[in-house]
Amino acid sequence: MNFIVYEKDTGRITSIVSGVCVSASEMEKNISHYQNRKFIAGEADPERQYICVKTLDILNREEMPFYFDGTRMVVPSNTRFFLYGATEVSGVTDASGVLEFQFEEPGSYFLDLFCFPFLSKKVEIHVDSSLQVSFV
């Protein structure tokens, strides 16, 4: 039998436990020391799915919505971001979800975005010699 272990507040899947000898009572003992964990029987892909904590349905994670207008990107609030290239910056967006871009060097940059329950997103940014920004 397979079990899906998930965070009880968010539904984020933390692990899949499988084995012929694993029972629900064994699972209860194994995760009892984690205050924020629950489990259900089943199979899921932690990278692409999560558990709806109200219905216990296994749901697909959706693409992260974002909008870019040339110098700003709008993403969901509380999105963790990592920008790397000639410059490296990381942080978390505020409630507005706005990321402002000002580059001092031309080149290629990569932006990783994380905001559960959305799928993580990787964006390539190109900055030309006149410091104009475009996404590839």
Range of the domain at 74: 67-135
Domain count, the chain: 2
Residues 18 and 47 in one domain: yes
Q: Measured between alpha carbons, how far is 71 from 128 in angstroms, rounded to an integer?
A: 13
Residue 51 is predicted with a pLDDT of 97
pLDDT band at 70 (very low <50, low <70, confident <90, very high): confident
Helix (H, G, I), strand (E, B) or coil at 24: helix
**How do 89-92 and 80-84 pair as beta strands?**
antiparallel
Residues 71 and 106 in one domain: yes
Weakest-pLDDT range from 16-25, 33-42, 66-75, 85-94? 16-25
Higher pLDDT, 71 or 100: 100
**Mean pLDDT over the full length of the chain:** 88
Residues 86 and 110 in one domain: yes
Q: At 112, which CATH number?
A: 2.60.40
Residues 50 and 99 in one domain: no
pLDDT tens per residue, range 15-65? 888 765 666 677 777 766 667 888 888 999 999 999 999 999 999 999 999
Nearest residue to 111 via CA among 120, 96, 128: 120
Residues 42 and 78 in one domain: no
